Chain A
């Protein structure tokens, strides 16, 4: 035996080992690929042998080849073989290879489950360790689900070496299998206090990663971390904890106060490192804890300055990084270090320059924008390397365009900067410049004349820009130039010349899409020239220009680009026709110009998304019933409440045959043709645009033409800078004069006040009263940031409430024997159902399918939630409208009852006491809080209808025994909660208040008052407004989707109480009716069969509510089942009220 082994290894001696392979590759530099393919053949041979050592050697070599970029997935099975070797030496090689090349798509990975499980429970700690390390790299959802429980056990292994690895790998498991988070969390929390520092650090690491994505769920751990922070000496742990606090403090302002002391201690201990890593936290805590602590921030900034001035580049970089974090919260204190930052722009290190650029972005103000941009322009000229120059270019544009061009006082200057930027060679960002040009020209009306003249100049010099079409980046600006010249051709002074420039043969070398724009816009130009000439009575010239077009256009007709060709040939025909008319001396200009009448409005990019869904429109409803699956056809709808509904159900519609369909289609077409409203003529945006006051009344200042406009190739922005400076100077002088006058008048009474007066940003009035047209939004759109969230974020799934006690159903799947009776599968049914379904055997096989199903279900759920949100949004708009209408009606001092959209019961009775016009009128929406079963959030919208300024608003509610408003700690029950904003006239804003309740089975009304100060020209007065908050039962319900099997089980369970109502005189359609119930009462439809539907919802305290809605001829009956009889009867009453208004 021993001899055989020795012999085997003697054979092995002559196999190539890894060293030989690498040496070989080095020696075959010329034909490396050939040599490697030879080696791979050898490896394949070796893998076929039985000797595990040979196999391991082969896998070893493969791992090296993988690093060089060769695909080794074909050997996945052999890798698994090596992984399952009994010797640690080979096992290690196997797991390493697996960790380098396995991934979710590797199909054989399923085979590893048992092997890994065996290794995890191996008595040798290094076997376990190596398995954990390997698994951390290739864990899949399946593996995570199957092994979660084993890893959980390892978390309390006796050896810290295993414990820390097990803790760390849990993060990966959570990511792949989010359901495991809740069951595993208590143990993870335990590990925070593990005696071994390594385990502790691993636990902190995992929780920090988790909390970074969803901080609010980890707020309750704050005290524990606080303790850790003060006791731990491990720097890694400290940094992680401080980062974690950085994420938590914005959510819980009180934390900030507490953190100040330990953090200052830490700063003393590890000055730089901690300061750098945690500055953000320190700052947040400082600013939220003691608002007037700006001195310490100044100190921080001072210290950072020392860092940035340090010769060590790393410190410089980190200093700048930290500075940018301060900038976000305290821009003022950083702005004083502008000199330093600008100096950093000259640094030889690109990373540092980029950081400095980032900082500049936040530092600009109206005052220094021009100066900063001027400096940047110098850098653009100096910069070598296109990437950095491109970066500079984007930054210049970013800086100038930030927050809606807030800092630009002189748009002429900006346009000239943009024009200067077009001279950059080889930039990739031509389209950026073009987009800016278009944006400015469209949105800043006053600048159009100037912009057009500049663009005409660009077109004239197009050959400079487009001389080399390879660097296609910059010729994008011609796109903008052509469009602006065409669209605003009325501002063009020498349109003829521009038109000729656009018709040059050179143009045909430009990219297709630019040519297309050229062609389109030369017609616009042509039209305006035509009109000019005709009005002047200069028929000759008009015909000349037509002739020119006819001569030059054919070059575009021959273009290879489809778009260009199509447009050009269309237009050529049009112009030929015009020529015919011209010969007959028919005036055509008016008609030609009518082609391009009207003005374009800028539309916000999100506008489409924000169009509210009109009431009664269900986007998810089928227009035609979908073809049903043959399987489900046989299934009979489950009877839930009574059997009688079976009788109600009508026979299915007979299948329509082809002919019938065709006939109907014809009929529909006919109908559409006859229906004048089918293609809804859009209520032209221009009209509305002109209706808005202000736009037309803006004084358009004549542009000072003392500046030479047509000096191609000369930088001009400098002149604007000078002009601007002069202007500002003048303005200042004027102001000073005024001030002096005032002073004289005041005779030193207000000496102090005047001496405090320094030149602030507000003093610089923009040169032009430039009206920046805001982008258009749909009528009822509500600003919200929610839609920016990425629905595919993998971390979203981990947003799980961790404080709720564990339910029985939430257990990690444990591997059992196949014939075990009740298989616990991880796919716990839809949340409301606590009972486990008993489907033996089959289930395990179906595991995979189930997983897929679950994915789908989740998607559905998501959809539902989104929908719900949308509904809420739209309803808010409705509410506003509603209110406005009502407002007009109830001008007389009557009690104005405002109906709430959400449930008709939620009624605001706003009682006026005096001046109605002054009231901010609250409308509100009550929402259950998912996190807490005894809290609801009330969102109140305040709208100031008056012409005065409202401030110091305070909302107070008279608490009842059951319902209390959540007030900040330390305030008494009689204190109001200040509303965190002020309301200028005509503005509305939303504030949220949290209420705690004990019982939710009854609807309640709370009385409250809103006190505020009205400030107008005559002075300020204190006003009060009484209102009532109505908490309906429906507002405690949370729309929860439920599936029919779970629903059926729930009903069968027998611990639900039953009650029913019947409402007569219902005329609306059933679809509509269901939508109404879903919408107003937060239900979701479980199943619908003809005119019966089952619905489900859940209260914030976990009551299940099931409904069966049946529609008769003229009536609707609703049978309800609920775990609480009172809640049910109240809900049904509310529903009755809703339905009776239908």
Chain B
């Protein structure tokens, strides 16, 4: 079971948090802080597994994380998940999908994309269990849902879109296309999972 998925930046500011067990808001923040504290003091070229988070779960649990650019992607899992598998999930499904490239922007400027990431996670992991690992399938479903959303907005959505376009105009280099499929980030030495 996956207990939680956390994304936070180099300063420990949460960019996305998803807990599959109930914790109060305060505890959630404590967990994020503790995890950040544990993860941030590790060197770049050490292993991606970490034991010893006290708040979430205890001894059975592990933190599996990846650090990319300014963001940390942390999965907190218990012993029934395979370490390499989860690492692969972060790698292939979250980073290689092209999000890595624009994650910085997603989470700092282009905010409604937070929901976009939530939607991806929802297709990938459900209630703490891995739902789908096939990237193409996930992308198809997400696209279909976005299309549906767009068609619903229709006429009424137009002015809002225009305003938000104006609001965002002066921002530099907003990635236009978030589904950049051909960008792949090389990760050294990690044996491919498939």
Of the residues A69, A168, A209, contact of B25 by C-beta under 8 Å: A69
Chain A 57-74 near chain B by CB (<8 Å), digits 1 or 0 = 000100010111111000
Flag if B25 contacts A70 (CB, 8 Å).
Answer: yes
> Chain B residues with Cβ under 8 A from A100's Cβ?
18
> Chain B residues with Cβ under 8 A from A277's Cβ?
82, 84-85
29 CB contacts below 8 A, A to B, read: A5-B155, A6-B159, A9-B159, A17-B112, A18-B111, A19-B109, A19-B164, A60-B112, A68-B14, A71-B25, A88-B145, A88-B148, A88-B149, A89-B152, A96-B115, A103-B22, A104-B22, A137-B20, A205-B130, A212-B80, A243-B80, A273-B193, A276-B83, A277-B85, A314-B47, A314-B48, A318-B83, A321-B83, A351-B51
How far in angstroms is the closest Cβ of chain B from A51?
A: 10
Flag if A69 contacts B28 (CB, 8 Å).
Answer: yes
> Chain A residues with Cβ under 8 A from B109's Cβ?
19
* In the A-B complex, the 9 residue pairs with the closest CB atoms: A136-B127, A313-B47, A349-B46, A69-B29, A317-B47, A103-B22, A312-B189, A13-B163, A277-B82
A137's nearest neighbour on chain B, judged by CB, is B127
> Chain B residues with Cβ under 8 A from A104's Cβ?
22
Residues 130 to 160 of chain B near chain A (Cβ within 8 Å):
130-134, 137, 141, 144-145, 148-149, 152-153, 155-157, 159-160
Flag if A349 contacts B152 (CB, 8 Å).
Answer: no
Chain A 1-20 near chain B by CB (<8 Å), digits 1 or 0 = 01001101110110001111
Of the residues A103, A168, A311, contact of B126 by C-beta under 8 Å: A168
In whole angstroms, how far apart are the Cα atoms of A212 and B26 in the complex? 31
Residues 26 to 62 of chain B near chain A (Cβ within 8 Å):
26, 28-29, 42-43, 45-52
Q: If A67-B17, A132-B126, A209-B129 touch, does A17 touch B164 (CB 8 Å cutoff)?
A: yes
A358's nearest neighbour on chain B, judged by CB, is B51
How far in angstroms is the closest Cβ of chain A from B87?
A: 7
Of A18, A67, A235, the most chain B CB neighbours within 10 A belong to A67
In whole angstroms, how far apart are the Cα atoms of A206 and B23 in the complex? 23
Flag if B126 contacts A314 (CB, 8 Å).
Answer: no
Q: Is B90 among interface residues, defined by CB-CB distance under 8 A? A: no
B22's nearest neighbour on chain A, judged by CB, is A103
Flag if B28 contacts A133 (CB, 8 Å).
Answer: no
Q: If A9-B159, A69-B26, A351-B49 touch, does A60 touch B130 (CB 8 Å cutoff)?
A: no
A213's nearest neighbour on chain B, judged by CB, is B80
In whole angstroms, how far apart are the Cα atoms of A2 and B164 in the complex? 21
In whole angstroms, how far apart are the Cα atoms of A45 and B131 in the complex? 38
In whole angstroms, how far apart are the Cα atoms of A321 and B50 in the complex? 12
In whole angstroms, how far apart are the Cα atoms of A239 and B155 in the complex? 49
Q: Is B122 among interface residues, defined by CB-CB distance under 8 A? A: yes
Q: Is B119 among interface residues, defined by CB-CB distance under 8 A? A: yes
How far in angstroms is the closest Cβ of chain B from A137?
A: 6
Flag if B14 contacts A205 (CB, 8 Å).
Answer: no
Q: Is B167 among interface residues, defined by CB-CB distance under 8 A? A: yes
* Given pairs A68-B14, A234-B133, 11 additional interface contacts (CB within 8 A): A5-B156, A6-B156, A18-B111, A19-B168, A53-B156, A69-B25, A103-B22, A168-B126, A235-B85, A276-B83, A314-B49
> Chain B residues with Cβ under 8 A from A53's Cβ?
156
In whole angstroms, how far apart are the Cα atoms of A10 and B127 in the complex? 38
In whole angstroms, how far apart are the Cα atoms of A1099 and B74 in the complex? 53
> Chain A residues with Cβ under 8 A from B114's Cβ?
18, 64
> Chain A residues with Cβ under 8 A from B190's Cβ?
312, 314
> Chain B residues with Cβ under 8 A from A20's Cβ?
167
Q: If A96-B115, A235-B193, A276-B84 touch, does A88 touch B152 (CB 8 Å cutoff)?
A: yes
Chain A 1092-1111 near chain B by CB (<8 Å), digits 1 or 0 = 00000000000000000000
Flag if B50 contacts A67 (CB, 8 Å).
Answer: no
Flag if A236 contacts B47 (CB, 8 Å).
Answer: no
Residues 38 to 81 of chain A near chain B (Cβ within 8 Å):
53, 60, 64, 66-71
Of B29, B42, B111, B134, the most chain A CB neighbours within 10 A belong to B111
A172's nearest neighbour on chain B, judged by CB, is B127
Size bin of chain B's contact surface: 35 or more
Q: Is A145 among interface residues, defined by CB-CB distance under 8 A? A: no
Flag if B129 contacts A168 (CB, 8 Å).
Answer: yes
Q: If A89-B149, A96-B115, A349-B47 touch, does A198 touch B84 (CB 8 Å cutoff)?
A: no
Q: Is A169 among interface residues, defined by CB-CB distance under 8 A? A: yes
Q: Is B194 among interface residues, defined by CB-CB distance under 8 A? A: yes
Flag if A133 contacts B122 (CB, 8 Å).
Answer: yes
Q: Is A143 among interface residues, defined by CB-CB distance under 8 A? A: no
How far in angstroms is the closest Cβ of chain A from B63?
A: 9
How far in angstroms is the closest Cβ of chain A from B44?
A: 10
Flag if A89 contacts B131 (CB, 8 Å).
Answer: no
How far in angstroms is the closest Cβ of chain B from A953?
A: 38
Flag if A22 contacts B129 (CB, 8 Å).
Answer: no
Q: If A5-B155, A71-B25 touch, does A18 touch B83 (CB 8 Å cutoff)?
A: no
Q: Is A165 among interface residues, defined by CB-CB distance under 8 A? A: yes
Of B42, B48, B118, the most chain A CB neighbours within 10 A belong to B118
> Chain A residues with Cβ under 8 A from B52's Cβ?
354, 387
Residues 286 to 316 of chain A near chain B (Cβ within 8 Å):
311-316
Flag if A202 contacts B155 (CB, 8 Å).
Answer: no
Residues 107 to 138 of chain A near chain B (Cβ within 8 Å):
124, 126, 129-130, 132-133, 136-137
Flag if A136 contacts B25 (CB, 8 Å).
Answer: no
> Chain A residues with Cβ under 8 A from B83's Cβ?
276, 314, 317-318, 321
B7's nearest neighbour on chain A, judged by CB, is A67
In whole angstroms, how far apart are the Cα atoms of A315 and B45 in the complex? 12
In whole angstroms, how far apart are the Cα atoms of A97 and B131 in the complex? 20
Flag if A273 contacts B84 (CB, 8 Å).
Answer: yes
How far in angstroms is the closest Cβ of chain B from A896?
A: 51
In whole angstroms, how far apart are the Cα atoms of A66 and B43 in the complex? 31
In whole angstroms, how far apart are the Cα atoms of A18 and B18 in the complex? 18
In whole angstroms, how far apart are the Cα atoms of A18 and B191 in the complex? 40
Q: Is A208 among interface residues, defined by CB-CB distance under 8 A? A: yes
> Chain A residues with Cβ under 8 A from B80's Cβ?
208-209, 212, 243
Q: Is B16 among interface residues, defined by CB-CB distance under 8 A? A: yes
Residues 90 to 120 of chain B near chain A (Cβ within 8 Å):
109-112, 114-115, 118-119
Q: Is B178 among interface residues, defined by CB-CB distance under 8 A? A: no
A2's nearest neighbour on chain B, judged by CB, is B155
> Chain B residues with Cβ under 8 A from A311's Cβ?
189
Flag if A352 contacts B47 (CB, 8 Å).
Answer: yes
Q: Is A226 among interface residues, defined by CB-CB distance under 8 A? A: no
Of B16, B26, B133, the most chain A CB neighbours within 10 A belong to B133
Flag if B164 contacts A198 (CB, 8 Å).
Answer: no
In whole angstroms, how far apart are the Cα atoms of A136 and B25 in the complex? 19
> Chain B residues with Cβ under 8 A from A130's Cβ?
122
Of A12, A71, A92, the most chain B CB neighbours within 10 A belong to A92
How far in angstroms is the closest Cβ of chain A from B151?
A: 9
A316's nearest neighbour on chain B, judged by CB, is B47
> Chain A residues with Cβ under 8 A from B129's Cβ?
168, 171, 202, 205-206, 209
> Chain B residues with Cβ under 8 A from A749's Cβ?
none
Flag if B82 contacts A126 (CB, 8 Å).
Answer: no
Of B43, B80, B134, B163, the most chain A CB neighbours within 10 A belong to B80
> Chain A residues with Cβ under 8 A from B112's Cβ?
17-19, 60
> Chain A residues with Cβ under 8 A from B180's Cβ?
none
> Chain A residues with Cβ under 8 A from B42's Cβ?
349-350
In whole angstroms, how far apart are the Cα atoms of A236 and B125 in the complex? 13
Q: Is A636 among interface residues, defined by CB-CB distance under 8 A? A: no
> Chain A residues with Cβ under 8 A from B87's Cβ?
314
In whole angstroms, how far apart are the Cα atoms of A6 and B122 in the complex? 32
Flag if B148 contacts A93 (CB, 8 Å).
Answer: no
> Chain B residues with Cβ under 8 A from A12's Cβ?
160
Q: Is A164 among interface residues, defined by CB-CB distance under 8 A? A: yes
In whole angstroms, how far apart are the Cα atoms of A265 and B78 in the complex? 28
> Chain B residues with Cβ under 8 A from A202's Cβ?
129, 131
> Chain B residues with Cβ under 8 A from A168's Cβ?
126-127, 129, 131
> Chain B residues with Cβ under 8 A from A136's Cβ?
126-127
B62's nearest neighbour on chain A, judged by CB, is A351
> Chain A residues with Cβ under 8 A from B111's Cβ?
18-19, 21-22, 64
Q: If A19-B112, A312-B189 touch, does A171 touch B127 (CB 8 Å cutoff)?
A: yes
